[in-house]
Structure 1
Amino acid sequence: MIVDLPKFVAAEEPYWTRLERILAQRQQDPWAPLTLEAAKELDYLYRRAGADLARVASFSAEPEMRRRLEQLVARAYAEIHGPRREVAARLRPWRWLSATLPRTLRRHARALWLTVAVTLAGAAFGGIAVAVDPEAKEALMPFSHLRGDPADRVAEEERAMSDRLSGHKATFAGELMTHNTQVALFALALGIAWGAGTIVLLFYNGVILGAVVVDYLLACQGVFLAGWLLPHGVIEIPAILVGATGGFVLARAAIGRDDGRPLAVRLRAVADDVATLAAGAALLLVWAGVVESYLSQYHEPAIPYALKIAFGLVEGALLLTYFGWAGRGRAAEAAP
């Protein structure tokens, strides 16, 4: 029996408010991993609210308080004992795209910056190698059309007046999407080997990128290079980095430093984030494939370089804005 109702409410109100905030946070982002400490807190607050409900159930003078506790306990019970709500969340593509994907990437910002650092290191190595020894590109370039003189290739591309991909644009775009998605997912999957494979693949991709950029710049073909690479590259390269970020998330779970949980538990804890990053990388690469097939492969006089460069810069700015700010409002509203 409650002797002093105001004192009881004053003592218990912080616990009810805390439980409401946790439940609101879970509703906003059902994919967010729940740590052991957070799960224990949720269970404790649920049991405490249940005990409080039992104490006020016969207190007819406060029907609003009783209804509030009944709803709170019911929501907590559904969160703990009910079916997982992630299934419903996965069927809400707009929420996933507008909030879950960018927030997941920001949550693993350190892993993302590691992918950037490894790629830049590879680019520096490839660029220096070509600058010091131009013949090195024979060993570094994986495609034959990149091993020749950049000036000759530019002249050939600008002389070609016919539509080389006429009737084959969709096929070419599909091949690009398939190949690049395989690279991104391969970089992610290699994370299970403690991230070593992911690092090697990122470094190698960086070497190719750096070698190509320096080779074309030394040949004074920077404008052609920007018009060729920017439209699809500002999406394609970040997409591979997003996939590789998932690889490093997987690697951290596999290593489990200072983590007493079993490997299977650690992998389950990051499974949703890894799946989100993989899907995000694949989605970006679909767009990059379309742009490369329908825009990047066409040069002056067919399409002005300035237009292609401007298109790429706008794409890059939009992508940075999306990953940097999308979903922040919802995160703030759900913050405990």
Structure 2
Amino acid sequence: MREALFIKKNKDRWLNNQSAPPQSPDEMAKVFTQLVDDLAYAKTFYPTSKTVQYLNKQASDMYLSIYQNRKEESSRLVYYWKYELPLLIHKHRKSLLFSFVLFMTFFLLAFFVAVKDAELASNFFGNSYVEKTLENIKEGNPFGIYETGNPILSWLGIMINNIKVAFLSFTSGIFCGIPTMYLLAYNGAMLGIFDQLFVAHGFGVQFWLVVFVHGTLEITALIVAATAGFVLGKSFLFPGTKKRIDAFRDGAKDGVKIMIGILPAFVIAAFFEGLFTRLYNDIAWLTTFLTTASVLFVIWYFIIYPVQLVRKKKKGLEEGGALHA
């Protein structure tokens, strides 16, 4: 094939690749493959032609674009955890505070009701679970319930159940947030009753050191999941100056981002519960360390760090405004 005919046959496609580069990975791969084939053909039959130089540059530019996109995809996750999620948490801090207050209210309410009603624990957890726990307390191993079962199977079972509850809490936010409030209140009450069961037998401090090896991340994630549900419901009920559908779309987007952000917390919490909480007798320093580290992380990442980011952002904007002035 003559070079003029080769150029005429493919010129439109080459120009189109330049003016409107492919966006999807599949389309980009297809176009890049065709371009490499054209370059190989040109090198074979027109080795000294400017066509080879042109195709080589276009192929090089596309290769760099592909590489850059891959690099951006990996750095996108880092950006999400470092900036986007904390800023979302700060943006919806009032909903987060509401979730926390609601959870603690029912925790305290259930705790004090359980002091007066000894049957409340059995109603929540079942007679067999409570009887087994009381038996463990008498034997001097109050948290022996965490030593039962296969660690890996326990991890997977707990993780799946908690994620299911969290997504139910989020999606049910569309119903004015009422089911979300119920689930959050129920979990708060359950923790309060569970706590009182151990406090009544003199294991109040141990309860926090042992159960919160996994409980810190787990409960934090449940509260944040409820926050995502309230964000979803609030965006539909109170659209503000936006159209209701636009406000709901934005609320749903924020809620989904928050839910994706807390998934690792459920995975790690379940992993701790399945493999490390059971070690509270054998390696007490490890379980105490994990509880302390988890509490410090939650306080820093969900409270302190978002505020620092916002202040830093405001400071940057103010400095930028001063420079432009």
- 2: CA distance, partners of 1:220 / 1:132: 17
Partner residue, 2:106? 122
SS of equivalent residue, structure 2 residue 267: helix
CA shift, 1:93, in A, is: 0.5
Query: Highest Rg: 1 or 2?
Result: 2
CA shift, 1:110, in A, is: 0.5
- 2: CA distance, partners of 1:144 / 1:89: 50
Percent of paired sites with the same residue: 20
Q: Over the residues paired in the alignment, what is the CA RMSD in angstroms?
A: 2.7
Partner residue, 1:285? 266
One-letter amino acid of the counterpart of residue 152, structure 1: E
- 1: CA distance, partners of 2:124 / 2:167: 23
- 2: CA distance, partners of 1:137 / 1:164: 20
Q: Are 2:179 and 1:197 equivalent residues in the alignment?
A: yes
CA shift, 1:222, in A, is: 2.2
- 1: CA distance, partners of 2:211 / 2:114: 19
Partner residue, 2:283? 303
Q: Are 2:295 and 1:316 equivalent residues in the alignment?
A: yes
CA shift, 1:108, in A, is: 0.6
Moved runs in structure 1, 4+ residues, more than 4 A?
88-91, 156-160
One-letter amino acid of the counterpart of residue 148, structure 1: E
Q: Are 2:131 and 1:148 equivalent residues in the alignment?
A: yes
Partner residue, 1:274? 255
CA shift, 1:287, in A, is: 0.7
Answer whether contact 1:230 1:309 (CA < 8 A) is retained.
no
One-letter amino acid of the counterpart of residue 124, structure 1: L
1:1-336 matched pairs, under 5 angstroms: 92-141=76-125, 144-145=128-129, 147-148=130-131, 150-154=133-137, 155=139, 157=141, 164-165=148-149, 168-256=150-238, 259=240, 261-300=242-281, 302-304=282-284, 306-326=285-305, 328-329=308-309, 331-332=313-314, 335=317
Instruction: Quickly say closer, same or farther: Cα 1:194–1:149, change in 2 above 3 A.
Output: same
Answer whether contact 1:253 1:267 (CA < 8 A) is retained.
yes
Per-residue Cα deviation, 1:10-42 (whole angstroms, up to 9, x for no partner): xxxxxxxxxxxxxxxxxxxxxxxxxxxxxxxxx
CA shift, 1:204, in A, is: 0.6
- 1: CA distance, partners of 2:121 / 2:273: 23
One-letter amino acid of the counterpart of residue 317, structure 1: L
Answer whether contact 1:150 1:216 (CA < 8 A) is retained.
no
CA shift, 1:128, in A, is: 1.6
Deviates more, 1:287-296 or 1:121-130: 121-130
Answer whether contact 1:239 1:280 (CA < 8 A) is retained.
no
The answer to which structure has the higher helix fraction is 2
CA shift, 1:295, in A, is: 0.6
Partner residue, 1:25? none
Instruction: Quickly say closer, same or farther: Cα 1:159–1:98, change in 2 above 3 A.
Output: closer
- 2: CA distance, partners of 1:193 / 1:234: 28
Answer whether contact 2:177 2:233 (CA < 8 A) is retained.
yes
CA shift, 1:225, in A, is: 1.6
Give the length in aligned residue pairs.
Answer: 242
Structure 1 unpaired stretches of 5+: 1-84
Answer whether contact 1:158 1:299 (CA < 8 A) is retained.
no
Instruction: Quickly say closer, same or farther: Cα 1:287–1:248, change in 2 above 3 A.
Output: same
Instruction: Quickly say closer, same or farther: Cα 1:314–1:175, change in 2 above 3 A.
Output: same
Superposition TM-score, scaled by structure 1 size: 0.65
SS of equivalent residue, structure 1 residue 134: coil
CA shift, 1:326, in A, is: 3.5
Answer whether contact 1:90 1:96 (CA < 8 A) is retained.
no
Structure 2 unpaired stretches of 5+: 1-68, 319-325
- 2: CA distance, partners of 1:164 / 1:157: 12
Instruction: Quickly say closer, same or farther: Cα 1:256–1:149, change in 2 above 3 A.
Output: same
